[in-house]
Amino acid sequence: MTTERNWLASDGAHLFYRLDDYTDPWKSAPVVVLLHPAMGSSQRLYAWVPHLARDFRVARPDLRGHGLSEAALDRELTHERLARDVVELLDQLGCERAHLAGSSAGGIIALQAALRYPARVASLALYAATAGIHPNRPKKGDWLARVAKNGVRQFLTETLRERIGEASPERARWFLGTAEGVTPEFLARFVPLMASEYFPDRLSQLACPVLMVVPDPDPMVERHEYELMRAKLRDCRFVTIPGASHSMTAEIPDRCAVELRQFLLGLARL
């Protein structure tokens, strides 16, 4: 079944998550946490649930400042705070270790959580996600100025093809709707934070297995960024999907979820 819950982070922010659990009630099942990209919400990952929730307890949080989770603009926003949100969610679930899967900025947060709290992370799966945002990347698209001028929905509309390719009007409206709750004020703090630390050299510290799934080519990320990560990671399965967009986790959710399921089941057999 799917349950929806609010919880209180240690800094007092009210956060939200969905838990999808169709595992056998008499068995102990591992937890998978799915972290959506910036300017999205947990709704973006709904189609992953049928592929995963029979064998795993699937937690889909709304990242701080997204969806139904409070932005808490009066509180400090740091990499440590976002990583702690993930760990405190595991505490809410009564989970000592979990598998983390993140899309784009959600992957950056998953990486930060794994580096700061390695004992709590069993594996990582990164979808179109880099080790921080290279400082030059937001400048190329003038992200913050465009969002501040026209709002989040208009910015996503203008960059829709880069994100989900050739989508039907109905699907495009759904995709844009999943960004409700994100404000320009919050993004003005969130995006610079993501770009404040570019840390591929730290990836060699990770001991857990990592799955990288990347579009080929990614319209928003240079291929050399992914290759650098691949070279630094100790235990990496690297998958390219030709023709996928940057928001591949919403564009081709079934393919992305199947890759994660196969990766996790392979780890269970080791």
Structural domains present in the chain: 2-269 (3.40.50.1820)
Which DSSP string do the residues of 124-159 spell out, in sequence order? EEEES--SS--THHHHHHTHHHHHHHH-HHHHHHHT
Summarize pLDDT for 57-110 with one digit per residue, the tens: 999 999 999 999 999 999 999 999 999 999 999 999 999 999 999 999 999 999
pLDDT score, position 146: 79
Which pair of tokens denotes residue 80? 């440590």
Flag whether pLDDT at 54 surpasses 80: yes
Q: What is the pLDDT of residue 172?
A: 85
The pairs formed by 189-193 with CB atoms below 8 angstroms and a separation of 24 or more are 189/73, 189/77, 190/38, 190/65, 190/77, 190/105, 191/38, 191/133, 191/138, 191/143, 191/144, 192/144, 193/77, 193/78, 193/79, 193/82
57-62 and 14-20 strand pairing: antiparallel
Using the predicted structure, report yes or no on whether residue 270 has a pLDDT greater than 60: no
Quote the pLDDT of residue 122.
98
Strands (E), 157-197: none
pLDDT the model gives residue 30: 97
In 3D space, the residue among 143, 1, 105, 141 whose CA is nearest the CA of residue 113 turns out to be 105
How far is the CA of 226 from the CAs of 60, 96, 152, 263, 266, in angstroms? Answer: 25, 30, 27, 19, 23
Looking at residue 150, its pLDDT comes to: 73
CB 59 within 8 A of CB 45: no
Residue 16 has pLDDT above 90, yes or no: yes
Q: Are 57 and 2 in contact (CB under 8 A)?
A: no
